[in-house]
């Protein structure tokens, strides 16, 4: 698996670096995507092939910059209560 980092933004106070890894499902600037593979990287940005989540849309190339908002999707499981018969 390819591991990559997007350096923290200059204005971010004490936030940890974000590690981007193939297969991660994230929100990138508010859009939910899955990271497929890194295509290119530079000191200022990385280009990843991403797959949009929750919508029917083609895979696309997205640039990730230091100032981008990135948050990880987490699975939330609902607890079911059993009903007494």
Q: Each residue of 23-71: pLDDT tens digit?
A: 999 999 999 999 999 999 988 899 999 999 999 999 999 999 989 999 9
In a domain, residue 80? The reply is no
- Tokens 């910059």 correspond to 65
Report the predicted TM-score, pTM, of the whole model to 2 decimal places.
0.66
In a domain, residue 48? The reply is yes
In a domain, residue 85? The reply is no
d(CA 57, CA 72): 20
Q: How many C-beta atoms surround the C-beta of residue 45 within 10 A? A: 17
For residue 83, the model assigns a pLDDT of 59
In a domain, residue 29? The reply is yes
In a domain, residue 83? The reply is no
Whether residue 84 has pLDDT greater than 70: no
In a domain, residue 84? The reply is no
- Locate 13 and state its tokens: 């106070």
Q: How many C-beta atoms surround the C-beta of residue 30 within 10 A? A: 7
Nearest by Cα to 6 from 14, 16, 18:
18
d(CA 36, CA 46): 13
For residue 64, the model assigns a pLDDT of 94
């Amino acid at each position: 698996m390819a591991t990559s980092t997007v350096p923290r933004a200059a204005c971010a106070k004490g936030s940890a670096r974000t590690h981007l890894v193939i297969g991660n499902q994230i929100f990138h600037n508010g859009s939910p995507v899955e990271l497929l593979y890194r295509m290119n990287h530079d000191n200022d940005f990385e280009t990843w092939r991403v797959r949009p989540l929750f919508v029917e849309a083609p895979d696309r190339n997205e640039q990730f910059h230091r100032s981008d908002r990135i948050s990880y999707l987490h699975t939330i499981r609902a607890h079911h209560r059993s009903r007494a018969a």
